[in-house]
Every structure is written in structure tokens, then in C-alpha cells.
Structure 1
Amino acid sequence: MVLGGSMVIVKIMGMVYKILLSGQYGGVGTGLFNSAYALYNPLFMLSTAGFPIAISRMVSESITKKRYKDVRQIHMLSVPIFIVAGWLCFLAMIVGGFIYVKIIHADNAIFALLCLSPTIFFGCLMSIYRGYFEGMKNMAPTAISEIIEATCKLFLGFTASFVVQKYGMSCYEATGYVFGTKCTNQVEAENVIIPIAIGAAILGISLGSLFGFLFLFIRYKRGGDGITREELQNAPPPRKSSQTLRVMVRTAIPIGLGAIIMSLGDMVDSTIVNIRINGIMQNDPDALLNVYGSLIPDYVYDSGTTHTFLYGCYGIALTLMMLVTAVTQVFGTTALPSVTAAWTEGNKEKLKKSMETVMRVTTLVTIPSGIGMSVLAEPLLSLIYNSSSVSDEVEIGSRVLTIMGISVIFIATSTPLCSMLQAVGRMDVPLKLFAVSMVIKIVVNYILVGIPAINIQGANVGSIVSYGFVTVAALFVLCRETKIVPDFVSIFVKPLMAGVVCGAAAYFSEIFFDFFFRQRLATILAVIVAMVAYVIALFVFKAIKREDILQMPKGNKIVKLLEKRKLIR
């Protein structure tokens, strides 16, 4: 609960951070920011390679068996692993960054990449303590460090970018030069400032990871791990270091490889979208410009950054989608204990109920969210990015979000399904499925993004096809391994029916309220009406069960209230 709550706070703060940056620096700035993260994510996953989860499991198991000397040994062995991995991947990002920006035809993204690279090293140092504390069932240090990271990212990052922008413009107004580059007009000055300002904003992320590590380090040194001297003395001798290390690596590699492959999705999108759209602009620019008309500003076209701008518009829609995936990540985490316990006990009835609850709660969130995003794409983005300076980006982003709303259903649903496969001992399956899905995504993206009439929407179609495959295949393997066929009507059909009601209520109420109120208020009212209609539909279609509500915060109180009113049994 502590970790889940902190995750929600961190995701909201991260969303605010991205909204502020997009509002200030538009599609080009967002494109540069997302391009840096596209390289960072797989490198960070490579540097940690599943070790935090492996350490958490091994520590938890050792504590259960009262092998406290093993607990300390696990911690000592993890320190050099993370330090070396962090340094290597930090250097790889610096060197690889110069190559990557050439590949995606975005040389000015190098500032963001260089400023983000220290985050890999400090992130590895944090992983030393996060996995250890989580294995001790102490989630508070991890939660607090995540909030420290997010706070620094938001306040220090945005402040730094604001200072850089103001300083750059003052230099231009005084001398006509910006950071050593002569600019003949304000647009040229802004084109020079934006990449450096984005780098400054990202520097806040690196500082956040530094402060997060310092908190964990001080917390460990001052508070310890809770193991007493007496417990250490009474504990059996530790295993051989080589044996512990072998178990650690064997546990970490399948998890790490799966995480690395999953993180490649953004890199695939970034690389292919930038390369293919840049190719269109080189060979047939009119075909692409005819799709968007005046929505692509002249300064973007003149500066040769149309591919970065459109990828930034894709990223603007992606920011909203990530909220849904963040929620289902929590479901994936909470799925493991109940499903693992039922599987270990061999209790088929309990396992079936646990699986159905996780899948149903997931679809009850993903389906209405996805449909709602699709039907209210433009009003939602206009509400969030309430600035005339990014109206073109919002218009293009809303077209993206209309299709992305469908893809989020599959993306967000696949996470808990793969978590349950891990819970029943099939650690290898998610890795294989995501490997195949990345091949599918690369092929579909490359073909479709290169078609001018489709362009960035091709990345959405690639996500639908690839994650649709993962969702269906993971569900099939899960049913085969457990020999359980879940109730598909309650898991998919009823949530879909309620989701359609939600989408229809959102669409028609938005049209109705638009006649009487400003768009922002009309959108807020439409969302409220859609939520009310969805809740009513859940009870009318009997789409929600007692077990589902118990998964929510204050679930017991809600269940008692609904039972009194005879709305559930």
C-alpha cells in the first residue's frame, strides 16, 4: 500500500512535470525529452538487469529461514555489482548518445542525453538499498526516495530550464548571440535555447536521483536494517559467496531480460518514427504536409525538425496514457502474492478466484480509460495543455490519442497477465512473448510510419498489434499452465459493455455541455457524467464483484456500504 501510494504520487508529479515542459517548449522540446528517455530506459534496465527484484526475493527468503548472515552477504555482494554496472552503462549512454542522435537525425538531443546519463549511475546506487529494504518488508525507504526524486525533478528541473530560457533570451536581446551562436531573429534564438533548456530540465532528474540515493544511504547507515546482533550470532553460517552470487544471477537474468525487452518499445518508436518521418521529409515532404496542413509551424519545417516535432506530439498523448499503465503496474505487483500463494498451496479454486479478480480489476480500469481517451481525446488534451502556444501539438496529439486509447487497453492489460505467469513459475514466458512482440512492433512500425498518410499513427498500430499478441498469448499460456479457464464474460464482456456505456456518456455529454459552457468546464462535466454512468453500468451489468472492491483502498468500508444497499452480494 505504501509503495502503491508513492507510485501514484510519483506518476502524477511526473505527469505535471511533462505537461509544464510541453507547454513551455512545445512539440520539439517534448520530442527531444522523449528521445533522451528512449535511450536511457533500456540502458538503465541493462544496468540493473533484474537484480533489485532478485535481491528482494533472496533477502525475504533468507529472513523467513532466519539466515540473517546470508541477508548481510547478499547486500555486500550487490554493492560492487551495481557500482560497476552503473559506471559502465553511464559511460555507454555518453558514448552511445553521440551515435544515437545521428541515427535519429536529432543532433540537438545530445544535451538532454548527457544531462540524463548520471541518473543511470545514481539509479544503480539506489537499487542497492531499494531491493534490500523491500526484501525486509520495509517499503517506506523506497517510497520516500521515489518522492524525493519526483520532487527534485519537478521543482529543480523546471526551475533550471526556466533560468536557462530567461538567460538565453536576455543574451539574445542584449547581444544578438545565444550561447555563442549568432541569431538573426527570436525564432532562431528559441531554436538554440530549447535543446539546452530541455537538458537543464533533465538535469533536475539526475539531481533527484542523487538526493534519492543520499537519503537511502543515510537511512541505512543511521537506521540499519533491523537485524539485531543476537539474531546474527544465532544465525547459521552463510552460504559460499559463489553460491549466493550464482542464485542471484540465475534469478535476475530472466527478469532483467524481460524488463530490457519491454523497455525497448519506446526506443523502437523513437528510432523508427524519427528515421522514417525524416525520410518522408527528404523524399516527399508535400505528402506529409498535406496531412497536417498549417499544424506544422513554419519554424519547425524551416529548421528541419519536423520529425522531432511529430514525435513530440506523439509524446504529448503518451503522457496521458502512462497514467493508466501506472495503475495496472500496481495491480501486477499486488497480483504476485495472492496468485503465488494459491499456486504453491495447490488450491485450484483459490487460484481461479485470484486470477479472475486480478484480470477483472485490470479490465475494469483499462477498458473505460481507453475508450474515454479515444472519444474525448481533443477535449482532454486541451484541458491538460491549456496553452495557445501548443494548440498545434494538441490538435495532432489528439489524433494520436484517439488510436492510442485502444492500444492502452492491451498495453496495460498485458502487465498483470505476465506478472501472474511469473507467479506460477513461468518466468521465461513473458521474456519470449515480449521478444516476439518487439519484432512485430519493429516490422509494423517500419512499414506503416513510412506511409505519409499514416506516419506517427503507425506507431500506435504497432503497439495494438504487438501488445495485442502479448495479451492473447499470455492469457492462453496462463490458462494452459494452470489448467484453469476463467469466466471470460465477467472478465472481458461485462467490463466492455460498461466501458461502451462510459464512452457513449462521455461523447454525448461533451457535445451537450459544449453548447452551454466553456470547453474546459464542459470536458470536466463530461468526465464526471461518464464516471457516474460507468459506475451505474457496473452494477446494472453485475460487472463488479465483492473481491474486486476489496482490492481498493478502504475496500472493506465500501463493501459494507454496498451490502447494506443490496448492490452486491
Structure 2
Amino acid sequence: MSEQRKKNEKNFLVQGSILAIAGVITKLIGAFYRIPLLNIIGTEGNGYYSVAFSIYSVALMLTSYSLPLAVSKLVSARVAVGEYKNAHKIFRGAMTFALLAGGLVALLVFFGADFIATTVMHLDKSAYALRVLAPCILVVALLGVLRGFFQGIGTMIPTAISQVIEQIVNAVVSIVGAYVLLNAGKAVGKTHGDKSFGPAYAAAGGTLGTVLGALSALIFVGIVFLAYNKVFKRKMKNDTSKRTEGYKRVYKVLFITIAPVILSATVYNISDFVDTALFNNIMAAQGFTKKEYASLLGIFQGQYSTLINVPLSISSALAASLVPSLVATVQTGNRKQVHDKINMVSRFNMLIAIPCAVGFVTLAKPILDLLYFTQDNTTAALMLQLGALSVVFFCLSTVTNSVLQGLDDMMTPVKNAAISLAIHIVALFIMLVVLKWNIYAVVLSKIIFAGAICILNAKALRSRIGYVQEKKKTFAIPALAAVIMGVIAMLVHLIFELFISPYIATLLALVAAVITYGVAIVALGGITESELKGMPKGALLVKICRKLHLIRGEYR
């Protein structure tokens, strides 16, 4: 392995880790602010909040979800060969697309909120929250282009910092907005004789944080871009490449890249929208009240999804950092290097996803009771235990989707996600209508959906580049280490719960879990010394492991 290759791989891991750390921080902030938010708006309000977000998510997929990936891919391909002028044209073209698409969809959602909420989602009062979210569609589209540009030139720092800023503002404004509008909604409810106005208005107040959070992030990244633009302009002046792309070609390339990513992202992520619409309509047909199924959705999104999304954010961060790096590697034509890079990011993903899944199975109720101490978490805990396996499948499918897109195989993820979605919808319908599994049907159907994508993507990668996922270090060793971790964590929790507060017992069990897993994964050979050195603070990690005699032999 050349020194340059080692340097590139280390930078890839560092940049991926920066984004992953930011993802964890934002998800933790999200998990903690959702506690007081859920206490304010209640499970009914959280149901309205969740329905609005499922529609908002579809709008983002159509306008901005694809932009960071597409822009980073196209910019990195041009920067890699010194075409800075063409890279800048890609950026300007993407900004134009964001303005037009984001603005148009934002207007459609704003003015069509009542029709969508009432006719499609069967939960009319979610329209208030949806209307507040509508302007955010444009903001996020512009933000996505700027983040994609920085990822394309090889830095994740602006994206990472902006994510943290966005979530902090989101947390503060959401709580304040929900509290203020709850009281306003209660006053309206008294006038109309309908207590549901309080939770509905509170949900709208909660979504206000999303809008102002995204706007704050846009302002920050915009300032960073203006500062960096001077440096980039100097690089453009020194650009001696002869290939100059006209804007007609730029828009064509953007469309060819964005359209499949939009299709893939829409099919891949539209399951939330489909689940919500199908669940609401079937539950209504089975005689449940709007308040009942809104509350179940509130538990699903407010407690279950919030925790599940923490490991998924790490996977998304690694996938985002993989694409520019993979594009550059593909251009070298070295298949072994491409395989090594895919294997590295897949293993890193599973090292995190598998213990998280085991942790959710073993400590679901204690974790939920620690975070949502004012709620009855029995239903949410069972959801978390049943759906824990989806963490592994979703993390792996996110990475394999990004790999296929990085290989310029844009339509295969679309086809695979569409097939998986069809299987998912059939399974969900059977579990809701025939088996009557209620909200648990939604949880279990997601495992089927993500698992199907993993199988189809693995087959596509084997056919496309002959890649076969390594099993022992990627799955077997992390699974064994995670089982050991789960047993130790349960024992620690059971012992300390007898003598001290169950909340402190949970914290101690989590600390014991992290330490146990770290020791077990190194002792079992899941991570080598050279791989540890390639991580942030790798030298220190190696030193600690050697002191604990987890790594033997001579220094390498």
C-alpha cells in the first residue's frame, strides 16, 4: 500500500468520523429535546407532528435529499482532475435547481396542506404543522447544495458544525414554540369544543424549530462558503484544464445524476409516508379513533424512531463521506482498492450497528425509562426490541446504496428499493388487516423492507464489480462481541437496580456495555492494530489496548 493511499484512507476515515460524531451529537440532542417536547404535546400531538413530518420528508426527497450526494459526487469528480471551473458551474447549476424545485414544492405543500392531511393521511389537524414546515423545503434544498459542495472538495467540517447548530436551534425553538402554541390551541379548543386543537397547535409549534434550525445552518454554511470562495476563485484562476463544460451540459449532467438519486431516495424512504397513510386508514376502518391511532404513531415516531435513528445517522454520515472518496478511487481503475474501501466502510458500519441492535434488545425498557421518564414506555420498549434488527439492515442498505451510486450505477438502487417497497407494502397490509398486529406491524415490516434491499444490493455488487462481503470480521465477530456486551450489561443493570436508582443502574449498564464491547471486539480480532491507528486518536487507542494486553506482538 502506497503512502498516498494510506494518507487518503486515513483522511476518509477521519472525515467520515467527523460527520459520524456530528450525527451522533445531533441525534442525542434530538433524543433529549424530544423528551420535554413529547411531555408538552403528548402522544396525540406527536401523532400530528409525525404525520406532518412524513409528508415533509417526501417533499425533501423530491427536492433536496439527493442534492448533497449528487453535488459532492459531481464536484469531487472534477476537483480530482483539477477542473475547478467546471466544479463551480456544477455548484451554480445545483443552486438554480434548488431554488426552482424547492420553491415550487414548498408552495404546493403550503397551499395543499389541508387536502393532503385530510384526504390522504386521514388526520386533518396535522395540516397546521405541515403548513409551518412548508418553507423549510426551500431552505433545506439550498442548504443541501452548500453541504454537498464542501463534501465534494473533501471536507465534512462545515456540514458537521452546521448540523450541530441546526439541531441546537431546533431543540430550543421547538420546545418554546410547542409550549406557547399549546396554550393558544387550548383557547381555540375551548371555543370550538374540541380538545384536539391544543395538541395540534403544539405540534405546529414544535415544527417551527425545524424551520429556524435549518435557516440557522444555512446562514452558517453560507458564511463559510463566502469565506472559502476567495480560495476557490484562486484555484479557478490556476485551472489550466482544456475541458470546459457549458451550462447546458451542466444541467444535463445534474439531471442525469439527480433524477436517479431522487427516485432511489424516494422509493427507499417513502416507506414512512406509505406506512403512515396505510396505518391511519386501516386503523380508522377497524374502528379506532383518530386520537388512538395518532397516539400510537406518536409513540412510534417520538420514542422508537428517535432511538433507532441514532445508529442510522452514523451510517448516513459514513455513506456521505464514502461517495467522493469512492469516485476518486474508481477513476484509478484499481478494483482491489474499490473492494477494500467498500469493505472498510461496511465493517465500520457493522461495528456500530450490531452492538446498538443488541443493546436495544437487552436494555430497551431501561433506556426508554431513563429518557422518557414521564411516559409509559411498555409499548415503545416492545417496538424497540422487535425492530432492533432493522438497525443492522438499514445501516448496511444505506452504505450499499451509496456504493452503487458512487460506481455510477444509479438505477439499480431504484429498482431494488422499488421491489423491496412492494414486498414491504404487501407484508404490512397482511400484518395489519389479517394478523391485526397494530403498530407492531409497521415495526416488523421495516425489517422486511431493509432486509430485502440488503439482499438485492449485495447481488448487484457481486454482479457489477465482483464484490462479496467479508463475513467473519464484518458480522460474526461484532455479533459475538455484542452478545457478550449484552449479557454483561443486563447483569450490571439487574445487580445495581437492586441497591440504587434504576436510572443510575441504566447509566452504569451503558458504560459497562461500551467498555465490554470495546475490549471484546479487539480481543476477538475484530479490529487490527493498523486499523486502530487509522482512526482518530488511533495511536492512543493502540497504546491503551497494549497496556490491557489486548494487542500482542511487536509494534507495527
Tell me, yes or no, if the aligned pair for 1:73 and 1:238 is still in contact at 8 Å: no
Distance 1:382 1:446, change over 3 A: same
Counterpart in 2 of 1:62? 78
Q: Counterpart of 1:297?
A: none
Q: Are the counterparts in 1 of residues 69 and 320 from structure 2 also a CA contact under 8 Å?
A: no
Which blocks of at least 5 consecutive residues in structure 2 are unaligned? 1-14
More divergent stretch after superposition (511-520 vs 454-463): 511-520
**Would the aligned equivalents of 1:112 and 1:198 in 2 still touch at CA under 8 Å?**
yes
Whole-Å separation in 2 of the counterparts to 1:89 and 1:58: 24
Amino acid corresponding to residue 182 of structure 1 in structure 2 = T
Contact 1:361–1:548 (Cα < 8 Å) also in 2: no
Q: Does 1:270 align with 2:276?
A: yes
Q: For the residues of structure 2 that align with 1:210 and 1:220, how far apart are their CA atoms? A: 15
Aligned match for 2:454, one of 471, 479, 482: 471
Residue 31 of structure 2 is aligned with which of 1, 12, 15? 15
Query: What letter corresponds to residue 537 of structure 2 in structure 1?
Result: K
Q: 2 CA distance for matches of 1:196 and 1:36? A: 12
The aligned runs of 1:284-323 (5 Å cut-off) are 304-315=290-301, 316-323=303-310
Q: Once the two structures are aligned, what percentage of the paired residues are identical?
A: 26
User: Aligned partners of 2:224 and 2:326: how far apart in 1?
Assistant: 33
C-alpha contact (below 8 Å) 2:48/2:294 kept by paired residues: yes
The C-alpha deviation readout for 1:13-33, integer Å capped at 9, x for no partner, is 222232221232222122111
Q: Bigger radius of gyration, 1 or 2?
A: 1
Counterpart mapping for 1:23-34 below 5 A: 23-34=39-50
**1:152 paired residue number:** 169
Gaps of 5+ in 1: 170-177, 283-300
Structure 2 letter corresponding to 1:266? D
Partner residue of 1:206 out of 201, 207, 211: 211
Structure 1 equivalent of residue 220 of structure 2: 215
The Cα of 1:560 is off from its aligned counterpart by: 4.1
Aligned residue number for residue 149 of structure 2: 132
Read off the aligned partner of 2:273 and give its amino acid letter: M
Name which of structure 1's ranges 20-29 and 318-327 shifts more when overlaid on structure 2: 20-29
C-alpha separation between the residues in 1 aligned to 2:513 and 2:65? 41
Alpha-carbon shift at residue 502 of structure 1 (Å): 2.0
Residue 408 of structure 1 deviates from its aligned partner by: 1.6
The alpha carbon displacement at 1:382 in A equals 0.6
**Residues 475, 556 of structure 1: CA spacing in aligned structure 2 closer, same or farther, 3 A cutoff?**
farther
**Matched-pair contact (CA < 8 Å) for 2:78–2:86:** yes
Letter in 1 for 2:383: V
Spell out, residue by residue over 1:484-510, the C-alpha distance to the aligned partner (whole angstroms, 9 max, x if none): 444312222222222222222233433
Are 1:44 and 2:27 an aligned pair? no
Which residue is 1:99 aligned to? 115
Corresponding residue for 2:489? 506
Q: How does 1:216-365 map to 2 (within 5 A)?
A: 216-221=221-226, 224-228=229-233, 231-232=236-237, 235=240, 236=242, 238-281=244-287, 304-315=290-301, 316-336=303-323, 339-340=326-327, 343-365=330-352
Residues 24, 311 of structure 2: 8 Å contact kept: no
Find the partner of 1:459 among 420, 442, 445: 442
Q: Distance in 1 between matches of 2:322 and 2:87?
A: 25
Q: Partners of 1:519 and 1:180 in 2: how far apart? A: 39
Q: What's 1:175 paired with? A: none
Shift of 1:143: 3.3
**RMSD, aligned CA:** 2.7
Contact 1:280–1:452 (Cα < 8 Å) also in 2: no
Structure 1 contact 51–249 (Cα < 8 Å) conserved? no
The separation in 2 between residues aligned to 1:260 and 1:436, in whole angstroms, is 13
Q: Is 1:376–2:376 an aligned residue pair?
A: no
Shift of 1:271: 1.3
Deviates further, 531-540 or 258-267: 531-540
Measure how far apart 1:561 and its partner are: 3.8
Aligned residue identity for 1:553: P
- Report the alpha carbon displacement of residue 547 of structure 1 after superposing the two structures with TM: 5.0
Q: Distance in 2 between matches of 1:345 and 1:65?
A: 11
Residue in 1 that maps onto 2:96: 80
Q: Which moved more, 1:366-375 or 1:221-230?
A: 221-230
CA–CA separation in structure 2 for the residues paired with 1:200 and 1:486: 46
1:272 deviates by 1.7
- TM value normalised by structure 1: 0.86
Mapped contact 1:352–1:486 kept (Cα < 8 A):
no
1:527 aligns with 2:527: no
Note closer, same or farther for the CA distance 1:43–1:560 as it changes in structure 2 (3 Å cut): same
Q: Normalised by the size of structure 2, how large is the TM-score?
A: 0.88
| Per-residue deviation, residues 326-372 of structure 1 (Å, max 9, x unmatched) | 11222323444565555544545544443333222222211121121
User: Which shifted more, 449-458 or 331-340?
Assistant: 331-340
Q: How much has 1:248 moved relative to structure 2?
A: 1.6
- Paired amino acid for 2:232: I
Residue 6 of structure 1 corresponds to which residue in structure 2? 22
- Per-residue CA deviations over 1:121-173 (Å, capped at 9, x if unaligned) read 1112223433333334454443343333222211122112222234556xxxx
Classify 1:549/1:34 alpha carbon distance in 2 versus 1 (closer, same or farther; 3 Å). farther
Q: Distance in 2 between matches of 1:459 and 1:207?
A: 31
How many Å apart are 1:548 and its aligned residue? 4.4
1:179 aligned partner:
188
Residue 353 to residue 134, structure 1, CA distance change in 2 (3 Å): closer
AA paired with 1:208?
Answer: G
**Quick check: 1:357–1:548 contact (8 Å CA) kept in 2?**
no
Aligned CA distance change for structure 1 residues 351 and 565 (closer, same or farther; 3 Å): farther
Matched residues, number: 533
* Deviation readout 1:45-85 (Å, 9 max, x if unpaired): 10136234333333333334443433343333333321110
Alpha-carbon separation, structure 1, partners of 2:499 and 2:434: 41
Aligned equivalents of 2:82, 2:345: Cα separation in 1: 32
1:559 and 1:333, CA in 2 relative to 1: closer, same or farther beyond 3 A?
farther
Residues 1:87 and 1:347: Cα distance change in structure 2 (over 3 Å): closer
Query: What's the CA shift string for 1:456-486, capped at 9, x where partnerless?
Result: 1111221111111111222233233332444
The answer as to whether partners of 1:130 and 1:141 remain within 8 angstroms in 2 is yes
- Equivalent residues of 1:277, 1:450 under 8 A apart: no
Deviation per CA, 1:508-551: give whole Å up to 9, x if none.
43333322222212222222333333234324432333354345
Give 2:402's aligned residue: 419
Letter in 1 for 2:355: P
Query: Secondary structure, in 3 states, of the residue corresponding to 1:333?
Result: helix
CA distance in 1, matches of 2:74, 2:341: 25
Write the letter of the residue equivalent to 2:514.
M
Output the CA distance in 1 between the equivalents of 2:539 and 2:532.
8
Change (3 A) 1:3 1:568: same
Aligned to 1:118: 135
Alpha-carbon distance in structure 1 between the residues aligned to 2:433 and 2:38: 26
| 1:473–1:6 distance in 2 versus 1, CA, 3 Å | same
CA 1:96 to 1:435, structure 2 compared with 1: closer, same or farther past 3 Å?
farther
Comparing 246-255 and 223-232, the one that deviates more: 223-232
The answer for the alignment partner of 2:427 in structure 1 is: 444
Distance 2:225 2:523 in 1: 52
